[in-house]
Each structure stands twice: as structure tokens, then as C-alpha cells.
Amino acid sequence: MSFELPKLDYAYNALEPNIDAQTMEIHHTKHHAAYTANLNKALEGTGFEGKSIDEILLNISKLSTPIRNNGGGFYNHNLFWKLMSPSGGGKPTGDIADAINKFFGTFEKFKEEFANAAATRFGSGWAWLINTKDGLKITSTPNQDNPLMDIAEVKGKPILGIDVWEHAYYLKYQNRRPEYVAAFWNVINWDEVSRKFKL
């Protein structure tokens, strides 16, 4: 079974004015589609065809750079689309809210640390909230790496992530990455974050 580009749960313009329709369409139909196609091509003849994306990422140090780059791009974007919603934003509730308060003190402190990780990731990459054996942590990764990979500096299960590649925000925000990060809070799907936290 080859990997397939997932359909979005909402229209390309559904996250406006926070994330514009043109960026969403290009990001999904061009960037994510390319990662998907290139991952399938890179996996041919490796013995990892038919493996889950999680299993591939957990063994990424044994695999080629094209699999690392495109496997990460495929996984990260699958997660990213689900973590946003037209009815998103606000504050989390329940277990995830309690965990954020436990590990970061307050929701505002968590927002500050997460936004800082996103703003200070040099070049292209991602900022993450991850669940680890020691609880919640904030980290960031370069390029299309993520904390599931066996080569990650800080390993854990991603439950929230923001894409800070320029293609994710440049049409609307140009070089103003912090404005894009601020707008992201308005579309976060806390129900999905909570679901991932409980898995």
C-alpha cells in the first residue's frame, strides 16, 4: 500500500483570515502532494514498503535522506491539517489543560514558550508540543524532522505542531513569522490535541 495525500476536513478558505486560502491550497496540493509522491518513490525496494509511517520514522536512521525528508513531510502535514479547525482557537479543557498547567505553570506561559520555539527555529522547521515519558515538553526540529524520529534530539509523541517553513505563511505574512504564529492560536483544534494526548 502506497501512501496517499489525505483530503482536508475543511475548505481551503475556511481558516481565513488567519491562514489564507491560496497558501492552504498550494501547501496541500503542491507541497504535501510532493512529499507524498516522493516518499512512495523513495521507499521502492527498501523493504519498508507497506510499513506504517510511524514505523518508518522510528527507524529513520537506517533509511535514506529522501525517505527522512519526505517521510517527515508526509507525517508532519497529515498532523498539521488535523490540528487546525475553522472552529478552533480558545483554550484547551480537561486533561490536556491540566497537563499544560502542570508542566508549564499556566496556559499563557505555555503559549509564550511554544511561540518562542516557533519564532527562534532558524531557517525551515517545526515547533512541537510532545508527550514524553517525563510529561509534556516543547521542542523544535529542522526541516521536516519530527520528535518521533530516532534521530531527534528530544523524542516524544507530537500532539501539537506548527509548520514554520516560509511556504506555510509567506504569501500573507512575508517575513513576519511571529504574526503567523500568533494567528495560529486562533485555529488550533484543541479537541484533536486532546485526542492525541490521550492516545
Total domains in the chain come to 2
Q: Are residues 100 and 122 in the same domain?
A: yes
Q: Are residues 111 and 50 in the same domain?
A: no
Q: Are residues 174 and 114 in the same domain?
A: yes
Q: Name beta bridge partners: 188.
A: 84
How distant, in Å, are the alpha carbons of 3, 141, 144 from that of 121?
29, 8, 12
Question: Nine-digit cell at 16?
Answer: 481565513
Q: Are residues 66 and 112 in the same domain?
A: no
| Identity at 145, one-letter amino acid code | D
Answer positive or negative: Cα dihedral of 31, 33, 37, 40. positive
Structural domain of 33: 21-82
Which of 192, 190, 187 has its CA nearest to residue 168? Answer: 187
Question: Nine-digit cell at 134?
Answer: 517525563
Residue 172 belongs to domain with CATH number: 3.55.40.20
- Please indicate, yes or no, if residue 87 is contained in any of the structural domains: no
Q: Are residues 99 and 176 in the same domain?
A: yes
pLDDT, residue 126, reads: 98
- Please indicate, yes or no, if residue 3 is contained in any of the structural domains: no
Q: Which pLDDT tens digits describe the chain residue by residue (199 residues)?
A: 699 999 999 999 999 999 999 999 999 999 999 999 999 999 999 999 999 999 999 999 999 999 999 999 999 999 999 999 999 999 999 999 999 999 999 999 999 999 999 999 999 999 999 999 999 999 999 999 999 999 999 999 999 999 999 999 999 999 999 999 999 999 999 999 999 998 7
- Please indicate, yes or no, if residue 16 is contained in any of the structural domains: no
Which of 26, 21, 31, 130 has its CA nearest to residue 86? Answer: 21
Q: Are residues 105 and 189 in the same domain?
A: yes
Return d(Cα 24, Cα 111) in angstroms, integer. Answer: 24
Q: Are residues 106 and 180 in the same domain?
A: yes
- Please indicate, yes or no, if residue 6 is contained in any of the structural domains: no
Which of 5, 4, 6, 28 has its CA nearest to residue 15? Answer: 28
Q: Are residues 125 and 151 in the same domain?
A: yes
Which stretches of 41-198 are assigned E, i.e. beta strand? 125-132, 135-142, 157-163
